[in-house]
Chains A and B, each alone.
Chain A
Amino acid sequence: MAEYEAVIGLEVHAQLTTNTKLFCACPTRFGDGPNENVCPVCAGMPGVLPVMNDRALEYACKMAMAIDATINLTSIFARKNYFYPDLPKGYQISQYEQPLCEHGRVEIETAAGTKTVGVTRIHMEEDAGKNIHSSTENKSFVDLNRCGVPLIEIVSEPDMRSSEEAVAYLKELRSILVYLGVCDGNMEEGSFRCDANVSVRRKGDKNFGTRAEIKNVNSFRNVQRAIDYEIGRHIDCIEDGEAIVQETRLFDANKGVTQSMRGKEEAHDYRYFPDPDLVPVRVEPSWIERWRGELPELPAAKRERFIAKYGLPEYDAGVLTAEREVADYFEAAVGVHPEPKKIANWIMSELMRELNECGESIRGCRLRPEGLAKLVRIIDSGAISGKIGKQIFGDLFRSGEDPEAYIAAKGLAQISDAGALDAVVDEVLAACPGEVARYKAGEKKLTGFFVGQIMQKTKGQANPKLVGELLAAKLG
């Protein structure tokens, strides 16, 4: 590997979160019954015409602004022609020669520091439907619900040199899209899909090697696996003196390998040409200004602010800002109890562990930021120990109950009243005359024994600091 270098470029298809499709008024909802969200336009009936959804244009432009891309004030929809049952018109409306946006960039954190990945272009296009092949009968079915759903395709420059960089780029891209609210980033439902172009060359070479395109890899982990497999395959080919074929390959996640789907000579000739049914897309500079004013704080800026404002380590800031909702949660909690590092720790350890276990997102989390902040404040006040806090966290997470009410109801508050503890300490010392004698003879490590006895009697609720003080006073 040392003498080789991988060259990776990524094409990402992100589904926009518009309520309706790109060229008709059908809903974009996921999960409805087959062909429920279909009209004559998206079903490609004879005579129908597309009309562009302005909201999709706005979302695509916001993404362009977020990655510093140039928005072309005039862009053109083109037809990509091919036959397939899930493509009712026999062509997909996309953009080809004059895309909506060009020349963007995304900054990623790598082992070697910050790196800029260039974005060649962003264009708008419609999604195709879905073919479903029956496993019991010799039949295929077509579901057109997804047909016409708006996508943006984000094409990177071949700037990445490892699968780690590729995944870092994808994560950053996804995070920006979700921050903007223009894509839900859901990879399982196909809202965020990726094709990877991979080639390998000897280090120092100026020319690229022959590339293979890996289609539709549906998780960050699989992107990494597919790219690593492909890099290894290319190196093997080079070492064995075999020619690498330019082709499209599919990743088999079960076997962990890529397999040839079609070669260059079988590549489709899509016969792109400007779609005469749609006028050129025009963007007014005043719209761009308005949209720019609506942009939220983006992940990179938020990360920097979290470090500067809250004094968080870089790592914590990165974790907390990866998702906008986590960052919002953190800030809401800090607003209630201004202890950023403690709040960050609770979110990153206890809260994220619970969320992962139940597979939920922070949005639906019953324990609200105020609750988490109160819990941390109660621990800080000494009313309960950190240990108890961790023990009760699961209950609070599941119920969303107010921590104060919960602690009171369970009688978990620490006994911090010297008068109340005084009697317990006396009782324990009276019950253990032997140990008291040994302590007084110099066996000071017996303090731990006495504390243990007291904790046992108070079911762990005695304030440990107060117990220490009382013992010291009584044993002289």
Chain B
Amino acid sequence: MSDLTTKTLIDMRDALATGAVTAEAAVQACLGRVAATEPRIDALLSVQAEAALARARELDAAGPAPDKPLWGVPVIVKDVLCAKGAPTTCGSRILENFVPPFDATAVARLKDAGAIILAKANMDEFAMGSSTENSAYKVTKNPWDLSRVPGGSSGGSGAAVAACQCFATLGTDTGGSIRLPAAFCGCVGLKPSYGRVSRFGMVAYGSSLDQIGPLARTVADAAQVLSVIAGHDPRDSTSVDAPAPDYMAALKGLSGLKGLRIGLPREYWGEGVEPEILRACRTAIDAAVDAGATVVDVSLPHTRYAIATYYIVAMAEASSNLARFDGVRYGHRNRQAAELLDMYKRSRTEGFGDEVQRRIIIGTYVLSSGYYDAYYKKAAQVRRLIRQDFLDAYATCDVICGPTCPVPAFPIGGVVDDPLKMYLMDIFTISLNLAGLPGMSLPVGLGADSGLPVGLQIFGQSFKEDALLAAAHGLEALTPALPEPAGLA
């Protein structure tokens, strides 16, 4: 493997800043890595090779800029994020030829920080799925075992960063879509507090749940990317009008584990979780205790309502968010339809995959007159209880830890025909979105039986991504670095 592409983002950034590596060389190295790995993992939907090289040469001509923390660093973004001039399909046929005329705020901020957008990553169609098998274009393979899924919906982002195609990626997380691929692919994934990162330019799935966040190979790399993309955006009313701290400084300043009270919710550490997952997570917690952390037993009693609540809220919002894909202004249109209603029906039936159609239908149902109170309104109430669970738990602890997913990466085709089983993959991740809180998945080793990466999930307090990152940074130092992904060795 190229020695350049395996560098951490921080190391690469430093090498670029000193002039030891040119931006063009960085891009060339990544493009080489993409060419070598992409035939095996199918992580990308489009590669902006020419544009990336042109941008790299432009940056090289101007020389390194100390005020641009990602100067010359190649990154990849999930295809749900609009990037000016680059196809943005959301993994859907309905947007097959859609090229947005604007950048998502997160993408614009990456560019402003000197990062180079190399490619757009594969995903479950409109971020609906937990395996990336719902992409209309390709099935991404897990770099650790090419017969297994990378997790979803940001599976392309997870696989790309694990395969060292670039130094960090952006994903989006509505119910675990950053953390699950991070866990399956053995990388760090961070979902910020709702409102921390602007959603402008992210094609919405569940608007009240969606957040953009980084996937990277180290906690520091993720912290650096978050520092760049976080902060208020006047174009997103739900982005919080509060300054985002310098997360890199937080890693250096905060002590990490000493005196840290780690809450272990009993609902996350028992039944239904693979023993190898429990063991790997427990080992990490034990190491933290050895390093000065304490463990607190906590309860999140409404966890069992989380999946039902999540699917009502997310599908209701999705049914409305996806109404704009009607074939009138952009996207797929059926040209044979004789009249308007027929055009809508045919365009949307042809353009959307099964899972998307399923969610639109369920979402439409739960919002219908006569059902709204029983479903959507009730779900909104339960949602508040779920958030309250976390707030109550944080009275006795600083962070909460548990497995990211009850199982390791599963075989391609193994679950996709059983939607309910697939929804259960999100059981430990969705409460966090309902509560609007930040959380991460941190690789804590390989499963003793499967040999696949295991992710430990760390939940933080509202808008305290700095403390969350510091805790993750401390834990990361105690867990052995993962080897090169077995599937690409």
Docked complex Cα distance between A273 and B367 (Å): 7
Cβ of B329 under 8 Å from chain A:
yes
Our pick among B201, B324, B340 for the contact of A90 (Cβ within 8 Å) is B324
Cβ of A46 under 8 Å from chain B:
yes
Docked complex Cα distance between A40 and B320 (Å): 18
Binds B, one of A78-86, A164-172, A406-414: A78-86
- Contact bitstring B213-246, A, C-beta under 8 A = 1, else 0: 0000000000000000000001111100000000
With a cutoff of 8 Å between Cβ atoms, the chain B residues found around residue A276 in the complex are: 206-208, 238, 317
Docked complex Cα distance between A221 and B404 (Å): 68
Chain B binding site: helix, strand, loop or mixed by DSSP?
loop
- Contact bitstring B410-432, A, C-beta under 8 A = 1, else 0: 00000000000000000000000
With a cutoff of 8 Å between Cβ atoms, the chain A residues found around residue B368 in the complex are: 269, 271
Given A47-B204, A273-B376, also A81-B323 (CB < 8 A): yes
- CB of B367 within 8 A of CB of A81, answer yes
User: Which residues 85-108 in B have Cβ within 8 Å of A in the complex?
Assistant: 88, 90, 95, 98, 100-102, 104
- CB of B201 within 8 A of CB of A48, answer yes
Docked complex Cα distance between A279 and B241 (Å): 12
Cβ of B82 under 8 Å from chain A:
yes
- CB of A277 within 8 A of CB of B238, answer yes
With a cutoff of 8 Å between Cβ atoms, the chain A residues found around residue B316 in the complex are: 273
With a cutoff of 8 Å between Cβ atoms, the chain A residues found around residue B369 in the complex are: 269, 271
Cβ of A400 under 8 Å from chain B:
no
Cβ of B203 under 8 Å from chain A:
yes
Cβ of A374 under 8 Å from chain B:
no
Docked complex Cα distance between A23 and B133 (Å): 36
- CB of B104 within 8 A of CB of A47, answer yes
With a cutoff of 8 Å between Cβ atoms, the chain B residues found around residue A51 in the complex are: 234-237
Cβ of A229 under 8 Å from chain B:
no
Closest Cβ of chain B to A126, distance in Å, is 14
Closest Cβ of chain B to A48, distance in Å, is 7
- CB of A273 within 8 A of CB of B320, answer yes
Given A88-B324, A273-B376, A279-B237, also A43-B367 (CB < 8 A): no
Our pick among A49, A81, A279 for the contact of B235 (Cβ within 8 Å) is A49
Docked complex Cα distance between A271 and B365 (Å): 9
- CB of B329 within 8 A of CB of A40, answer no
Cβ of B200 under 8 Å from chain A:
yes
Cβ of A278 under 8 Å from chain B:
yes
- CB of A81 within 8 A of CB of B324, answer no
Docked complex Cα distance between A272 and B364 (Å): 11
Select from chain B the residue with minimum beta-carbon distance to A86: B328
With a cutoff of 8 Å between Cβ atoms, the chain B residues found around residue A48 in the complex are: 200-201
With a cutoff of 8 Å between Cβ atoms, the chain A residues found around residue B322 in the complex are: 90
- Contact bitstring A220-242, B, C-beta under 8 A = 1, else 0: 00000000000000000000000
- CB of A50 within 8 A of CB of B320, answer no
Cβ of A466 under 8 Å from chain B:
no
- Contact bitstring B337-374, A, C-beta under 8 A = 1, else 0: 00010001000000000000000000010011100100
Cβ of B199 under 8 Å from chain A:
yes
Select from chain A the residue with minimum beta-carbon distance to B316: A273
Given A46-B90, A52-B237, A271-B369, also A142-B328 (CB < 8 A): yes
Cβ of A91 under 8 Å from chain B:
yes
- CB of A273 within 8 A of CB of B372, answer yes
- CB of A90 within 8 A of CB of B200, answer no
- Contact bitstring A266-301, B, C-beta under 8 A = 1, else 0: 000101110011110000000000000000000000
Cβ of B17 under 8 Å from chain A:
no
Closest Cβ of chain B to A71, distance in Å, is 20
Q: How many residues of B contact A (CB 8 A)?
A: 45
Select from chain A the residue with minimum beta-carbon distance to B102: A40
- CB of B235 within 8 A of CB of A89, answer no
Our pick among A46, A83, A142, A279 for the contact of B344 (Cβ within 8 Å) is A83
- CB of B236 within 8 A of CB of A49, answer yes
Our pick among B199, B206, B235, B328 for the contact of A88 (Cβ within 8 Å) is B328
Cβ of A44 under 8 Å from chain B:
yes
Docked complex Cα distance between A278 and B195 (Å): 12
With a cutoff of 8 Å between Cβ atoms, the chain B residues found around residue A319 in the complex are: none
Closest Cβ of chain A to B95, distance in Å, is 7
Docked complex Cα distance between A266 and B208 (Å): 31
Q: How many residues of A contact B (CB 8 A)?
A: 28
With a cutoff of 8 Å between Cβ atoms, the chain A residues found around residue B88 in the complex are: 46-47
- CB of A49 within 8 A of CB of B237, answer yes
Select from chain B the residue with minimum beta-carbon distance to A81: B320
With a cutoff of 8 Å between Cβ atoms, the chain A residues found around residue B202 in the complex are: 47
With a cutoff of 8 Å between Cβ atoms, the chain B residues found around residue A269 in the complex are: 368-369
- Contact bitstring A63-81, B, C-beta under 8 A = 1, else 0: 0000000000000000101
Given A49-B235, A271-B320, also A43-B201 (CB < 8 A): no
Select from chain B the residue with minimum beta-carbon distance to A278: B237
Docked complex Cα distance between A48 and B88 (Å): 13
With a cutoff of 8 Å between Cβ atoms, the chain B residues found around residue A271 in the complex are: 319-320, 364, 367-369, 372
- CB of B329 within 8 A of CB of A277, answer no
Docked complex Cα distance between A277 and B321 (Å): 10
With a cutoff of 8 Å between Cβ atoms, the chain A residues found around residue B82 in the complex are: 45-47
Docked complex Cα distance between A51 and B238 (Å): 9
Closest Cβ of chain B to A84, distance in Å, is 8
- Contact bitstring A16-47, B, C-beta under 8 A = 1, else 0: 00000000000000000000000010011111
Given A47-B202, A142-B328, also A91-B320 (CB < 8 A): yes
With a cutoff of 8 Å between Cβ atoms, the chain A residues found around residue B237 in the complex are: 49-52, 277-279
Closest Cβ of chain B to A51, distance in Å, is 5
Given A44-B324, A50-B237, A273-B316, also A88-B329 (CB < 8 A): yes
Closest Cβ of chain B to A275, distance in Å, is 8
With a cutoff of 8 Å between Cβ atoms, the chain A residues found around residue B344 in the complex are: 83
- CB of B328 within 8 A of CB of A85, answer yes
User: Which residues 81-118 in A have Cβ within 8 Å of B in the complex?
Assistant: 81, 83, 85, 88-91
Cβ of B326 under 8 Å from chain A:
yes
With a cutoff of 8 Å between Cβ atoms, the chain A residues found around residue B330 in the complex are: 45-46
Select from chain A the residue with minimum beta-carbon distance to B80: A47
- CB of A46 within 8 A of CB of B324, answer yes
Which of A48, A85, A277: most chain B CB closer than 10 A?
A48
User: Which residues 22-49 in B have Cβ within 8 Å of A in the complex?
Assistant: none
- CB of A47 within 8 A of CB of B320, answer no
With a cutoff of 8 Å between Cβ atoms, the chain A residues found around residue B320 in the complex are: 79, 81, 90-91, 271, 273
Docked complex Cα distance between A98 and B9 (Å): 48
Select from chain B the residue with minimum beta-carbon distance to A89: B324
Docked complex Cα distance between A422 and B238 (Å): 89
Docked complex Cα distance between A54 and B2 (Å): 54
Select from chain B the residue with minimum beta-carbon distance to A277: B207
Docked complex Cα distance between A91 and B234 (Å): 23
Docked complex Cα distance between A273 and B319 (Å): 11
Which of B101, B235, B320, B330: most chain A CB closer than 10 A?
B320
With a cutoff of 8 Å between Cβ atoms, the chain A residues found around residue B235 in the complex are: 49, 51
User: Which residues 320-352 in A have Cβ within 8 Å of B in the complex?
Assistant: none
Closest Cβ of chain A to B184, distance in Å, is 26
With a cutoff of 8 Å between Cβ atoms, the chain B residues found around residue A83 in the complex are: 323, 326, 344
- A44-B324, A85-B328, A85-B340 known; 5 new pairs, CB 8 Å cut-off, are A47-B201, A90-B323, A90-B326, A142-B328, A273-B367
A-B CB contact pairs (8 Å), 30 listed: A44-B324, A44-B329, A45-B82, A45-B101, A46-B88, A46-B98, A46-B325, A46-B330, A47-B80, A47-B88, A47-B100, A48-B201, A51-B236, A81-B367, A83-B326, A85-B340, A88-B329, A91-B323, A142-B329, A271-B319, A271-B320, A271-B364, A271-B367, A271-B368, A271-B372, A272-B367, A273-B317, A273-B372, A276-B207, A278-B237
Chain B contact residues, CB within 8 Å of chain A: 80-82, 88, 90, 95, 98, 100-102, 104, 199-204, 206-208, 234-238, 316-317, 319-320, 322-326, 328-330, 340, 344, 364, 367-369, 372, 376
Q: Which 5 A-B pairs have the closest CB atoms?
A: A90-B323, A276-B208, A271-B367, A276-B207, A46-B203
